[in-house]
Structure 1
Amino acid sequence: MSADATIAPLAPARPVDDLLAAAPELRAPLVTGLCRLGDATLILGHRVSEWCGHGPALEEDIALANTALDLIGHTQMWLGLAAQVEGRGRSADDLAYHRDAMHFRNPLLVEVPNGDIGRTLMRLFLFDAWHHALLERLVSSSATEIAEIAAKALKEVHYHLDRSSDLVVRLGDGSEESHARMQAALDLLWPYTGELCFGDDTDAALAEAGILPEPGDLRSAWDATVRETLAEATLAVPEGRNDVQRGGRQGRHTEHLGYLLAEMQFLQRAYPGAEW
């Protein structure tokens, strides 16, 4: 954890059912907030899993597969809790495999195609820096279940961030070719990063209840981590705005998500209820 790990609790922790009994109007925002968390890790986990068997080196292939498994494990917990809060008899699998693109709430950053390994690693780093800052706040959530999930996930994401930032530095400050590829990846992905810290009314309602932090409150930690690493990697921070591409958290996606879901959801769509 970072030196800023002693963040004051958002509010006294209570089980989700107790919070909703006191404030039933929070049910719909909470389902959306939990889907945003689970959809982000699900879609990125699927993207990273596409490297399985195709990595540039055996060690990297295995490391990316493990990262994908971690992210999908986080998805199981977030979407499982979302289904529980929703109370409509759905499961984490139902939310993952039986929603159309317009009902997904992931940021656009995670649905962008992998590209080369440089773009994949840069995307992981930019996401990890945000993910780590978010989980550090979520361990103090007023919802007991959210705090417990965050505490489990934070241990893995701490490693994810260490690894992705190290690789960004090694490649950015490496050969002329690797530096050029990492700079190109950063320039391409930069306009998508602002959405990670861009809030709306749903975020505001959950933040007021101490359940989730305001996305904007994560910006300074994300920015500090990103700029420090990019400086060490000898990569230039793009001059343009980083919030040009957004809308995924509200259900407005790029064409890439539809193709991704067509592949990811094929088995459950073709054979509803199929089990091993």
Structure 2
Amino acid sequence: MTAHNEPTIHVEHDEAGTNVDHGDHDNAYSGLLVNDANWAFGTDFEDPLAGVDTTVPDGVDAKDLGAYCLMLGDDALVFSQRISEWCSNAPDLEEDIALANIALDLLGQARLLLARAAAADPELVPELFAGSPVPDEDRLAYFRNDLGFRNVRLAEVPNGDFAEAVAKILIYSTWRLSIFERLTGSRDTVLAAIAAKGVKEMSYHRDFAGRWVVTLARGTEESRSRLVAALDGLWPLWSELFETHPVETAVAEAGIGVDPATVADEASVILDQVFAAAGIDRPERGGLAGVGVHGGKGRDGLHTEALSKLLAEMQVVAREHPEGQW
């Protein structure tokens, strides 16, 4: 029976068989009563760039802009997936929530950047069956193999312990924040807006990781040794972050992107400040050699085996049910 003070939901059907809610009260479930099919695996179902002028600036090669946004989007997507693996596995609830929020920030960046890449160069988007419900940014995320990804290899490194997680976030966010601070002045207004939002997010990411690096370094002998080992293991990937790909050269010259080599000194100074506060030395290991032929690296679509395994897990459901809707 229904209590006298309980709101009653009146549901009928329109000619198409769609449920229609005519209740007098707000109903948290009313959205479920609308026959509005959406692709099952997306994070949202509206165009993330709806209402935004996505016209490519004069004098800019659309393919270069698309390729550059793809690089930045892949960095964020892959690193987000890696950090999200910490959900329910962090040392305590506060850090669990913090890491989940960092992963969500990166996922949001990835979605905007991949959408921008698709708008600039539609040829980047994988073709699916006619009438596919999959939006462009999700096609890029779920329907490319590892050779199609252009992320830096630091983003794909498998998780180790918590010390390695914070060391990796510190290295990544220090580099990325320096890039994004300059991108806020991009001639491409879409990229500039994405960067402005990302600067706020990654300032927090860097501070979170920096505080934990100092805490672990000045904690117990065990926490210090784990942190030093983590930094030593990740350090060979540091120099790759500042190696300039031809696409990055082109977009920097066009005033829409950043040559990563130009932020190397700034990023190094910031890391050295954190290391000084932590009382540890900068690792001395050299860069990681390229994989595949001619020393190709992440920006060239050549990756470690870890990326293939990450993508297999991330993409399996979407690839198995490409027509999945709800």
Using the size of structure 2 for normalisation, the TM-score is: 0.77
Shift, 1:215, TM fit: 0.9
2:257 alignment counterpart: 212
1:17 alignment counterpart: 55
- Measure the CA separation in 2 of the matches of 1:219 and 1:269: 39
Shift, 1:60, TM fit: 0.7
- Measure the CA separation in 2 of the matches of 1:18 and 1:49: 33
Tell me the amino acid that sits aligned with residue 73 of structure 1: G
Mark the structure with the bigger radius of gyration. Answer: 2
Tell me the amino acid that sits aligned with residue 257 of structure 1: L
- Measure the CA separation in 2 of the matches of 1:173 and 1:210: 43
Is residue 133 from structure 1 mapped to residue 188 from structure 2 by the alignment? no
- Measure the CA separation in 1 of the matches of 2:56 and 2:231: 43
- Measure the CA separation in 1 of the matches of 2:56 and 2:263: 27
Shift, 1:273, TM fit: 2.9
Shift, 1:241, TM fit: 2.0
Alignment of 1:85-96 (within 5 A): 85-88=120-123, 90=125, 91-96=136-141
Relative contact order higher in (CA < 8 Å, ≥ 6 apart): 1
2:73 alignment counterpart: 38
Tell me the amino acid that sits aligned with residue 268 of structure 2: D
Select 1:82's aligned residue among 102, 111, 117.
117
Is residue 241 from structure 1 mapped to residue 278 from structure 2 by the alignment? no
Shift, 1:242, TM fit: 3.5
2:155 alignment counterpart: 110
Select 2:204's aligned residue among 159, 171, 190.
159
Cα-to-partner distance string for 1:90-149 (whole Å, 9 max, x where unaligned): 411000000000010000101010111111110000001011101100001111111011
Shift, 1:258, TM fit: 0.3
Shift, 1:267, TM fit: 1.0
- Measure the CA separation in 1 of the matches of 2:297 and 2:303: 7
Shift, 1:18, TM fit: 4.3
- Measure the CA separation in 1 of the matches of 2:124 and 2:157: 32
- Measure the CA separation in 2 of the matches of 1:273 and 1:128: 36
- Measure the CA separation in 1 of the matches of 2:124 and 2:169: 33
Contact 1:83–1:89 (8 Å) recurs in 2 = yes
Cα-to-partner distance string for 1:230-260 (whole Å, 9 max, x where unaligned): 1211222122223545701110100000000
Contact 1:139–1:151 (8 Å) recurs in 2 = yes
Is residue 59 from structure 1 mapped to residue 97 from structure 2 by the alignment? no
Select 2:323's aligned residue among 263, 273, 276.
273
CA RMSD of aligned residues (A): 1.5
2:12 alignment counterpart: none
1:145 alignment counterpart: 190
Is residue 257 from structure 1 mapped to residue 274 from structure 2 by the alignment? no
- Where does the alignment leave 5 or more consecutive residues of structure 2 unmatched? 1-52, 126-135, 291-295
Tell me the amino acid that sits aligned with residue 60 of structure 1: E
Tell me the amino acid that sits aligned with residue 253 of structure 1: H
- Where does the alignment leave 5 or more consecutive residues of structure 1 unmatched? 1-14
Shift, 1:88, TM fit: 4.1
SS of residue matched to 1:220: helix
Select 2:228's aligned residue among 177, 183, 204.
183
- Measure the CA separation in 2 of the matches of 1:275 and 1:101: 26
Shift, 1:58, TM fit: 0.8
SS of residue matched to 2:117: helix
